[in-house]
């Protein structure tokens, strides 16, 4: 079985690429505009703009499963979001259709539901409430994936990624943390599971304070074992970096970007987030 990984030079792509190569998984890794430095001798590498058909064809030729982590992962102006997260995604799915790729693992995001208050506990079939253009692109991407399953039989697992970092560093992460060990277990299940069709899964660890009910992931066989509670005392001993608005909504700092309602205090931050968490 041949696996392709887009966004292989990014934060999460680097973790997955390193782990799969360490296990000698047949992997083709794609960077963006810059070539990737090989991690092992003879590594199957490529790079280029996924809005271009030829680049997509090189990525997907002979591939069974695509792990699609490429794209803009922070809030940015709409034209950039459209280019990287909409236009490129259509090219990727059209390439999957041409090359008979049977399954795509699509990196969706918690920012597709970021406008829910932290007091609400969400199921996988909750109404989508994006907290910006980035989150909106993930709503659109999930719908695109649904259409390509319904019309073309391309399976997709949409993972609404929480805060996928090595360890929690702030109070929000006690609910949203997606530990690296659980990420790699999740990827294994996405590759190995049979007959998944189309499904959505929360990309989150087994956190005691989680906002998300992930029982639907049982169908995939995803059974997370990490819990942010292990770090709670350390995290809660530090100041919360989020302003009042960010602490109120599940999207955290993304919510305050271009937020114009009057129901927040005067010191609420509207600075652009620099991390996809």
pLDDT at 275: 52
Between residues 276 and 130, the one the model is more confident about: 130
Contact criterion met (CB below 8 Å) for 231 and 168: yes
**Could you give the dihedral angle defined by the CA atoms of residues 212, 213, 217 and 218, in that order, rounded to the nearest 10 degrees?**
150
**What pLDDT score does 265 carry?**
62
The predicted-structure confidence for 214-228, as pLDDT tens digits, reads as follows 998 989 999 999 999
Confidence of residue 32 (pLDDT cuts 50, 70, 90): confident
Tokens of 193: 């599971």
pLDDT exceeds cutoff 80 at 185: yes
For residue 183, give Cα distances in angstroms to 12, 161, 242, 267.
Answer: 9, 9, 25, 36
| Residue 149 tokens, joined | 């399953």
| Residue from 134, 148, 222, 249 carrying the catalytic annotation | 134
Q: How large a percentage of the chain has pLDDT more than 90?
A: 92
Q: Residues 116-138: what's their mean pLDDT?
A: 97
pLDDT of residue 271: 40
Chain segment 85-105, per-residue pLDDT in tens: 999 999 999 999 999 999 999
Residue 20: HSE in the Cβ half-sphere, 13 Å Cα cutoff: 27
95: exposed, middle or buried (Cβ count in 10 Å: 0-12, 13-18, 19+): buried
pLDDT tens sequence across 50-76:
999 999 999 999 999 999 999 999 999
pLDDT attached to residue 49: 96
Closest CA to 62 of 40, 44, 36: 44
Say if residue 268's pLDDT is above 60: no
Instruction: Give the pLDDT band of residue 168 (cuts 50, 70, 90).
Output: very high
For 3-256, CATH number?
3.40.50.720
Instruction: For residue 151, give every residue at least 6 positions away whose Cβ sits within 8 Å of its Cβ, in sequence order, or none.
Output: none
Q: What is the mean pLDDT of the chain?
A: 94
Q: Catalytic: 93?
A: no
266 pLDDT band, cuts 50/70/90, is very low
pLDDT > 90? residue 130: yes
Compute the distance between CA of residue 51 and CA of residue 71 in angstroms, rounded to an integer. Answer: 11
Q: Is the pLDDT of residue 274 over 70?
A: no
pTM of the model: 0.93
Question: Vertex 1, ends 205 and 224: CA angle to 5°?
Answer: 10
Task: Read off the pLDDT of each residue in 112-127 and give the average, rounded to a whole number.
Answer: 97
Residues of the chain above pLDDT 70, percent: 95
């Amino acid at each position: 079985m041949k696996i392709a990984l887009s966004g292989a030079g990014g934060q999460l792509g680097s973790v997955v690429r390193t782990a799969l190569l360490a296990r000698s998984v047949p992997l083709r890794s794609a960077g963006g505009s810059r070539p990737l430095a090989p991690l092992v001798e003879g590594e199957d590498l490529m790079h280029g703009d996924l809005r271009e058909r030829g680049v997509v064809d090189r990525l997907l030729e002979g591939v069974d499963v695509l792990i699609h982590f490429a794209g803009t992962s922070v809030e940015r102006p709409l034209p950039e979001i459209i280019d990287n997260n909409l236009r490129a995604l259509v090219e990727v799915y059209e390439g999957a259709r041409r090359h008979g790729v049977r399954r795509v693992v699509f990196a969706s995001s918690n920012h597709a539901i970021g406008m829910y208050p932290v007091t609400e506990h969400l199921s996988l079939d909750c109404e989508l409430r994006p907290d910006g253009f980035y989150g909106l692109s993930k709503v659109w991407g999930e719908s695109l994936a649904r259409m390509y399953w319904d019309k073309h039989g391309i399976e997709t697992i949409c993972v609404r990624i929480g805060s996928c970092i090595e360890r929690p560093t702030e109070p929000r992460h006690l609910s949203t943390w997606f530990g690296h060990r659980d990420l790699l277990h999740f990827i294994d299940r996405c590759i190995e599971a049979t007959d998944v069709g189309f499904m959505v899964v929360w990309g989150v660890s087994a956190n005691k304070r989680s906002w998300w009910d992930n029982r639907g992931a049982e169908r995939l066989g995803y059974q997370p074992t990490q819990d942010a509670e292990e770090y709670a005392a350390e995290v809660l001993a530090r100041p919360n970096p989020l302003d009042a608005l960010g602490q109120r909504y599940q999207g955290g700092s993304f919510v305050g970007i271009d937020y114009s309602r009057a129901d927040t205090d005067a010191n609420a931050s509207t600075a652009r987030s620099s991390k996809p968490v």
